[in-house]
Amino acid sequence: MTVKIEKQDKNMVKLDIEIDTDTAMKEYSKSCKRLAQRVNIPGFRKGKAPRNVIEKFVGIEAIQRDALDYMLPGIFAQAIRENNLNIITEPYLESYKFELGKPVEIVAKMELKPEVKIEQYKDLEVDVEEFKNPEDAMDKELKSLAEKYATLEPVINRETTDKDIVLMDFEGMANGEPIKGGSSKNYMLDLGNSNFIPGFAEQLVGKKIGEEFTIDVKFPDEYHDEKLKGQPAQFKIKINEIKEKIVPEINDELAKKVGPFKTIEDLKADIQKYLDNTANAENEKRKSNKIFETVLSKITVDVQDSMINREAQALLDEFKQKIQASGVEWDKVVEKEGHEKIWEELRVEALNRIKNSLLISEIAKLENIQVTASDIEQKLNELASMYGTDRSLILKEIQKNATLIQSLSQQALSQKVTKFLIDNNKFNFVKSEK
């Protein structure tokens, strides 16, 4: 067997392969015997028909193709190994010439992993916009905690205000018909934080317990239900109860309710620790993003369209699943955004992902950064902790889906390369422009 390698544009490789006559005919004979075992030929026991009968019954071309199917995987593997080809797709047969008694000529192609040239990835000095907690962060956290411990007290002797919570019956009509899902009994609505149609909650202010009335509203023009977009509607309302939210004072008593704190100062110290950790985590994330952005701007790589399209298609499939899982029709999204716009945006994201992945792989190779068994162990423990399950269950899922272990390995490698870049470059925090 002889193999000629020709590198072409866009990381494609052409293989001109010639299989000698003896090897080809031996494989052809083996295929005759295999196929003879699979077919029933009148007048012959299975597998006992002579070659000329099998050729006539099955067809010479089918036998040749079967022989190629058995030969090619080993031939491709040998060519890849001997020529040290870093492929990203399975080789595919472009053409072949198979004549009995002559050498077999094969033309195949495969895609190579794009070569990455990095100008510099160490000893860089990078400016990073520093994240700082807002000055009122502590007050917001305390108010949020107080809200969680708020109580609802019944109101009897006054009308509703825009800060109250009401329990009501309602029934909606639009275009002379009841609105699907537009009615309920004893529904609780926070008038100050309503996600109902604009103007709905506002018309419930100034009402008394037991009062029955009708309000007029209009559905938004961008409403998800086509039948109701921009349509006027009427709702019959009955107020059953009025409740006032009583938010506790921010003091030692609240601190004791929240956790193992004796005073409000203890609680504040714990919140400050949380805020500091959040800021540190955000700044580490910004350092990571900035160094990758900086190094990516210093690489040269030619990514083929076929590779971008495959990644974009994977992103498109993920996007469709998320949209459909949210209850929105995919066709409606395409109609609104346009397929071409969606596809081009996904191609941009796909190219960024590919470049990022290639960069991680190249730095790992240059610096001999490898994923160890203990790295995988750590990722498994993280998954078990994240989902609150036993590690053995995670292992069972991985055994069912081999791609999961590849994903964990890639995550671990990305984290190790990220740490290397952060440890080997200098970062200057600068004031955020936002």
Radius of gyration of the chain (CA): 34
Task: Give domain limits for the chain.
Answer: 2-113, 151-246, 282-431
Q: What share of the chain is helix, strand, coil (3-state, %, to 5)?
A: 50, 25, 30
At 20-45, the pLDDT tens digits run 999 999 999 999 888 888 888 887 87
β-strand partners of 164: 244
Exposure on the CB side of residue 340, measured as CA atoms within 13 A: 0
Q: Which residue has the tokens 């990758």?
A: 292
Using pLDDT thresholds of 50, 70 and 90, give the confidence band for residue 335: confident
Over residues 179-202, mean pLDDT: 94
Equal fold, 2-113 vs 151-246: no
Average pLDDT, the chain: 91
The bridge status of strand 426-431 relative to strand 125-130 is parallel
- The 10 Å Cβ neighbour count of residue 108 is 20
Over residues 144-161, mean pLDDT: 94
Q: Which fold has domain 151-246?
A: Chitinase A; domain 3 (3.10.50)
Over residues 324-337, mean pLDDT: 87
Q: What is the pLDDT of residue 434?
A: 62
CB-CB contact of 256 with 244 (8 Å) = no
Q: What is the pLDDT of residue 384?
A: 84
Our CA dihedral for 76, 78, 80, 84, rounded to 10 degrees, sits at -170
At 339-386, the pLDDT tens digits run 999 999 999 999 999 999 999 999 999 999 999 989 988 888 888 888
Q: Which residues of 175-197 are buried (b: 16+ CB within 10 A; e: fewer)?
A: eeeebeebeeeeeebbbeeeeeb
Our CA dihedral for 295, 298, 302, 306, rounded to 10 degrees, sits at 30
Domain 2-113 indexed as CATH 3.30.70.1050 = yes
Q: Which of 219-223, 331-335, 392-396 has the lowest mean pLDDT?
A: 392-396
pTM exceeds cut of 0.85: no
At 414-424, the pLDDT tens digits run 999 999 999 99
Domain 282-431 indexed as CATH 3.40.605.10 = no
At 234-276, the pLDDT tens digits run 999 999 999 999 999 999 999 999 999 999 999 999 999 999 9
Which of left, alpha, beta for 210 (phi over 0: left; psi -120 to 50: alpha)? left
